[in-house]
Structure 1
Amino acid sequence: MKIISIILGILVILGWLYVIGEYKYGNQKTKKAQNVMVVAFVLTLILTILQFF
């Protein structure tokens, strides 16, 4: 379970870094940036839920 948490944590960090980069350059309205934001949010929720178990 720890390995899954570590992998999800890395994916969450990379996802949010991508979102921050897109906002920095003003490309937050693109479909790709919006999809990555949703995926990063869902991964964050999953990681938070896994911390309880």
Structure 2
Amino acid sequence: MKIFSIILGVLVILSWLFVMREYRNGNQKTIKAQNVMLVACLLTLLMTIMQFFY
């Protein structure tokens, strides 16, 4: 379970870094950036729920 948590944490960090890069470049209205924002939010929510139970 720890390996899954570590991988999930890395994915959350990478997705939020990508979101920040897209917003800095002014591309926040593209479908790709919006999808990554959704994935970043869902991964963060999943990580929070896992932290609550484990």
Task: Give the TM-score band, short-chain normalised.
Answer: over 0.9
Larger fraction in helix = 2
- Say whether residues 1:10 and 2:30 are aligned partners: no
Unaligned runs of at least 5 residues, structure 2:
none
**Partner residue, 1:44:** 44
Distance in 1 (alpha carbons) for counterparts of 2:47 and 2:6: 9
Name the TM-score, length of structure 2 as normaliser: 0.95
Q: CA deviation at 1:50?
A: 0.6
**C-alpha distance in structure 1 between counterparts of 2:50 and 2:43, whole Å:** 10
1:20 aligns with 2:29: no
Root-mean-square deviation over aligned CA pairs: 0.5
Q: How far did 1:35 drift?
A: 0.1
Number of residue pairs matched by the alignment: 53
Counterpart of 1:40, as a letter, is A
Within 2, Cα distance between the matches of 1:51 and 1:4? 12
CA separation in 2, counterparts of 1:3 and 1:47? 13
Measured after TM superposition, the shift of residue 23 of structure 1 is 0.2
